[in-house]
Amino acid sequence: RKEVEQDPGPFNVPEGATVAFNCTYSNSASQSFFWYRQDCRKEPKLLMSVYSSGNEDGRFTAQLNRASQYISLLIRDSKLSDSATYLCVVNGNAGGTSYGKLTFGQGTILTVHP
Amino acid sequence: DGGITQSPKYLFRKEGQNVTLSCEQNLNHDAMYWYRQDPGQGLRLIYYSQIVNDFQKGDIAEGYSVSREKKESFPLTVTSAQKNPTAFYLCASRQIGTLSPLHFGNGTRLTVT
């Protein structure tokens, strides 16, 4: 099983749609979770951190399910500008030698069309 | 302005040559990372360092070497032993801490022919 796994998509949705991505991770001791957005041929940029209780930032909601070992990202009222690749990131064992290791999923491609 | 600087943006080399990619940060971050990205793929971890004079192999360290002599700098050498070196290389840094995210440089596109 891969350390971090995402559905690569692509997801093609109309403007205004709600879309959700999941990201599963294999290390039950992981403590840090993030969602990044990457535009074509650019560096990834932080979209949001994922907190244990879940968190929201405008149209974006991130959730963590420790029991099933996945994080999710929900985008409401999709805009054309949301078209990008969305990457999840998970760290290694808290307190272990791999604590600083941050592993990316392969990314989910989202295209929002008019 | 604080940030991470990678240079050069584009780099071309002949097969068999070693090449060093520069990464400098002025964010006073403890940890630094090198990732590789191939077209249509996610980011794969090459090496990371959490403290000066110490670093750990990532998932694809073969054919690469790093050094961390200063907190601000984490250069990556792509050696001739790396079989498929053409890729987009991204350097990142973060403060040590559970909720500290990665901050990325603009990346270096390396083409080896």
- In this prediction, residue A96 carries a pLDDT of 54
Which regions in chain A score pLDDT beneath 50? none
- In this prediction, residue A113 carries a pLDDT of 97
- In this prediction, residue A5 carries a pLDDT of 94
- In this prediction, residue B97 carries a pLDDT of 72
Digitized pLDDT (tens) for each residue of chain B, 113 residues in all: 679 999 999 999 999 999 999 999 999 999 999 999 998 888 999 999 999 999 999 999 999 999 999 999 999 999 988 989 999 999 999 988 767 899 999 999 999 99
Q: Which of B35, B42, B50 lies at the smallest CB-CB distance from A107? A: B42
Distances (CA, A) of B58 to A67, B31, B44, B72: 27, 14, 8, 20
- In this prediction, residue B112 carries a pLDDT of 93
φ, ψ for residue A82, nearest 5 deg: -80, -10
Residues 42-71 of A with CB under 8 A from B: 42-46, 49, 51
Given CB atoms, is A89 within the 8 Å cutoff of chain B? Answer: yes
Q: Do B104 and A31 touch (CB under 8 A)?
A: no
Contact residues on chain A for B27, CB-CB shorter than 8 A:
none
- In this prediction, residue A91 carries a pLDDT of 86
